[in-house]
Amino acid sequence: MTPIVAFERVSKRYVLRHDRPRSARAVLLQALRPRSAPLTRETLWALQEASFEVRRGETVALIGPNGAGKSTALKLISRVIVPTAGCVRVAGRVAALLELGTGFHPDLSGRDNVFLSGALIGMDRDTMRRKFDAIVEFSELADFIDVPVKHYSSGMFARLAFAVSIHLDPDVLLVDEVLAVGDQAFQLKCLDRIAQLQAADVTICLVSHSLDTVRSVCRRALWFDHGRVRADGPVDSVVLQYQAYATEQEAARLDHFSGGPASQRWGTRRLEITAVRILDGRGQPSSIFATGEPLVIEMDYDAHGPVEAPLLGLAVHRQDGVHVTGPNTGTGGLRLPRLEGRGTVAFSVPALPLLNGLYLVSVAAVSQDDGETYDYHSHQYAFRVANPSDYQGEHYGLMTLGGGWKVGRGA
């Protein structure tokens, strides 16, 4: 079967000018600059030799981090831009929901923009007049249809743009993160309509950072990374590859975590904390955990002279500053003897109750009466809780209480 979309070694280059004036003052300064002064330009390859095909009736997800080339690929399919090299072939009518309001004139009303959108893809006014009521009904914007769209909220833009696109009888529908805008009820309505389009054999290319949406809507996925197609295949397989890669990248970043502006260290150093390790249940260093997994924080110390019964402890803060917990050896029932020389203490959590998020760890060694701080490392260590998309536990809040549900007889 002939593909409805085909990319053959497609590359797209942008030339970025960093010296472009942004104000009247900048224009004046540029005019006074010696002509011999070099222009500052940077070449950005948004796509590099990307090759793939999409068959009629397929729903394909384009996934990857920001700047990977996903949106550029959609713009090439919609013919908004042309490739620098390679060939893009598209058969049939394309309806595109790219950036919010693309194709809309801000000074025109919603009504006028509906007819303008139809005209841009070659639909005559009579055809759009027949479709108009259905478009307005789907968008739920009857009270605002004669208001200039520059006064619309982002959610209203999304409603009208989606309503127009699905009523233009497309052979190919391009959707770029529009489903992330608007209320949940309208998102569900859009997903229902996408299912109807799939049943009608419409080809859909979807860009989304919501991997749950990708898995529920698509059967195939393309993973873009730095302008190249890194993987192409069944959606579950490609999503798992992408998640594994993203986890590795996050772990590498956290391994070099510097703590940021809040990161400080102070103390007399009579007892010095020389190393801190965050370990998984196998005793291996890790920066990524799932809710319910074991976690161990080890602290190596070096007492440079006799230190009588010190307290060693830690504090865990969520990235937004919420103080989660602050255990120490005293509250944990461990009375340390007089310490001298080197040793290690460890704090073990058999089942981590924290939910998704980035958490910052501080460690401390203080005197029994809290009168002397020997060593304090503030917000210098980090770990992330990142549950897989098929995680069946709680998703909302700070932590799980580990409780259970049961149903009893009514009165």
CATH for 287: 2.70.50.60
Residues 239, 302, single domain; the answer is no
The answer to whether 60 and 6 are in contact (CB under 8 A) is: no
Residue 52's SS3 state is strand
**Residues 113, 156 within the same domain:** yes
Report if residue 30 sits inside a domain.
Answer: no
Element (H, E) at 318: strand 311-318
Q: Is residue 278 domain-shared with residue 209, that is, in the same domain?
A: no
Radius of gyration of the chain (CA): 29
Residue 250's pLDDT is 80
Is residue 226 assigned to a domain?
yes
Tokens of 222: 């393309």
Phi, psi of 260 (to 5 degrees): 75, -165
φ, ψ for residue 165 (rounded to 5)?
-60, -40
Provide the 3-class DSSP secondary structure of residue 180: helix
Looking at residue 153, what is its pLDDT?
85
CA 222 to CA 228: how far, in whole Å? 10
Residues whose CB falls within 8 Å of the CB of residue 268, separated by 6 or more in sequence, listed in order: 372, 373, 374, 375
201 is a domain residue: yes
pLDDT, one tens digit for every residue, the chain (411 residues): 689 999 999 999 998 775 666 566 655 666 656 655 555 677 889 999 999 999 999 999 999 998 899 999 999 998 889 999 999 999 988 888 776 556 688 889 999 989 988 887 778 889 999 999 999 998 889 999 999 988 988 788 888 888 888 888 889 999 887 666 567 778 788 888 889 999 999 999 999 888 888 888 999 999 999 999 999 999 989 988 898 888 778 877 777 766 655 568 999 999 999 999 999 999 999 999 999 999 999 999 999 999 999 999 999 999 888 999 999 999 999 999 999 999 999 999 999 999 998 999 999 999 998 889 999 999 999 999 988 767 788 878 899 998 888 888 765
DSSP character for 270?
S
> To the nearest 5 percent, what fractions of the chain are helix, strand and coil?
25, 35, 40
- 274: helix, coil or strand? strand
Tell which residue, 215, 203, 133, has the closest CA to residue 170. Answer: 203
**DSSP structure string for 329-359:** TTTTT-----EEEEEEEEEEESS--B-SEEE
Domain boundary among 187, 221, 250: 250
**What is the DSSP annotation of 103-164?**
T--TTSBHHHHHHHHHHHTT--HHHHHHHHHHHHHHHT-GGGTTSBGGG--HHHHHHHHHHH
- The answer on 223 and 166 residing in a single domain is yes
**Residue 174 placed within a domain:** yes
- Structural domain includes residue 399: no
Q: How far apart are CA 168 and CA 147, in angstroms?
A: 22
Pair 190, 214 in one domain:
yes
Q: For residue 282, what pLDDT is reported?
A: 93
State how many domains the chain has.
2
- SS3 of 37, please? coil
Q: Please, which residues bridge with residue 158 across strands?
A: none
- Determine the pLDDT at residue 181: 59
Confidence (pLDDT) at 262: 57
Looking up residue 233, the CATH number of its domain turns out to be 3.40.50.300
In this structure, what are the phi and psi dihedrals at residue 334, rounded to the nearest 5 degrees? -105, 110
Its domain, for residue 298, covers 260-385
CA dist., res. 356 & res. 232, Å (int): 28
Under 8 Å between Cβ of 157 and 110: no
pLDDT of residue 38: 57
Take residue 78 and report the two structure tokens written for it: 């919609």
Inter-residue contact 315 to 325 (CB < 8 Å): yes
- Last residue within a domain, chosen from 216, 250, 284: 250
Beta carbons of 71 and 222 less than 8 angstroms apart: no
Whether residue 376 is found in the same domain as residue 317 = yes
Position 221 in a domain:
yes
- Which amino acid is located at 337 in the chain? P
Domain match, 131 and 215 both = yes
Let me know whether 97 and 231 are in one domain: yes
Which of 250, 277, 304 terminates a domain? The answer is 250
In this structure, the answer to whether residues 311 and 208 fall within a common structural domain is: no
Is residue 20 a part of any domain in this protein? no
pTM: 0.71
Q: Are residues 184 and 76 in the same domain?
A: yes
Domain membership flag for residue 26: no
- Domain identity same for 239 and 303: no
Whether 318 and 235 share a structural domain: no
Task: Tell me how many degrees the CA angle 156-161-163 measures, rounded to the nearest 5.
Answer: 95
